[in-house]
A and B are shown apart, each in its own frame.
Chain A
Amino acid sequence: MKIVPGAICEAGTSRVNKTGGWRTFKPVYDYDKCIKCKLCELLCPDSSVRPKEDGYFEFDYNYCKGCGICANECPKSAITMVLEEK
């Protein structure tokens, strides 16, 4: 790559950095409990909660750092933080 004078970057290029490798625990949904309140998507600091076609959500494990905010805040305890097995 050639550097751009002034250290100017194209938008959104941090997506190459897959921060999923950071986590120890990963969030898992129990869709039976989920009421589609969208709070998890709203709160995620790493934009790692994606809506699905059916209105539920899924995690983007490429980037999820396993902070656990979604699990902590879910009003229906529909998200559990599970120790990630390697």
Chain B
Amino acid sequence: MKSISLLAPGHRGCAGCCDAMAAKFTLMGAGEDCIVVSPTGCLEVMTTPYPETSWDVPWIHSLFENASAVASGIEAALKALGKQGPKIIAMGGDGATMDIGLQALSGAFERGHNFTYVCIDNEAYMNTGVQRSAGTPYGASTTTSPAGKVSLGNPRLKKNMPAIMVAHGSPYVATTSLAYPKDMIAKVKKATEIEGPTYIHCHAPCTTGWGFDTSKTVEVARMAVQTGLWPLYEVEDGKVTKVRKIGNNKRPVDEYLKMQRRFKHLFTMEGGAEEIAKIQAIADKNIEEFGL
């Protein structure tokens, strides 16, 4: 029987790898008539050690910062050659999307190319060893924003990518989570069917980088949604249209933070409770803003 997945086994992703799951769900949403562009990162490295590849769809990797530009070129070429039809998807990590690739992403969206960008946000530069990125949340310890005697870890808030992409006039922007795969698949399908540049931001807990057991990837992702730290919503033509309410499942942020090694220091350091309270405030703000 044919596999539901267009990502073949044999890739070098860690056991429980979030990137593998995100890629799998994206391809399930897009279908086999697609062309995928990835920037440098875990996903690219773990799936394509020459001569092996895990991609059962056409796939191209160029550089770290230019996935959106490469996708723009593919889109233009298909149009010029009269070969439009395949869905064009750029899929990469938070470092490649929110930091080094932001210019190309902004340019591609401003020009209105018809493609979907999926950001797999595991909240650090994972492939190079867990360094801080614009996606690293407040208080997280990474190797370049480590917790220490005079440091609480990353002192900055996550860059609000969905808002940035909405500001570009994208017709469809949505957040997704590995804990809600059917939701993600549906959102990716919708994004790829809408004309114009569409954006999906996927929360992807990384067992190796965040420090939790390989079996807990989905559980941690669910907890993030249930605390309000990762709101699930869709924005269509600039308006928030669908929100996934937390309802009775609301959890305090402590329960999420203590599952992960990268936040452990918040529970032992002096002033840690205040820092955790700040993170709770972030969650509370999301809950209010999105009506979770």
Contacts and interface: CB of A to CB of B under 8 A. Distances in A.
Interface of A: 1, 3-4, 7, 9-19, 22-23, 41-43, 45-48, 50-51, 60, 62-63, 65-69, 71-73, 81
Interface string B1-38: 10111011111111111101100100000000000000
Nearest to B215: A68
Contacts of B218: 43, 69, 72-73
Given A69-B217, A73-B219, A14 B15 contact: no
Interface in B51-109: 51-58
A46 B20 contact: yes
A15 B8 contact: yes
A19 B217 contact: no
Given A66-B15, A71-B215, A11 B55 contact: yes
A84 to B, nearest CB: 13
Interface in B179-210: 181-182, 207
Interface residues of B, number: 40
B213 interface: yes
A15 B7 CA distance: 10
Contacts of A1: 51
Contacts of A11: 8, 53, 55-58
Contacts of B219: 72-73
Contact of A67 (B5, B10, B214): B214
Contact of A45 (B3, B24, B48, B216): B24
A80 B216 CA distance: 14
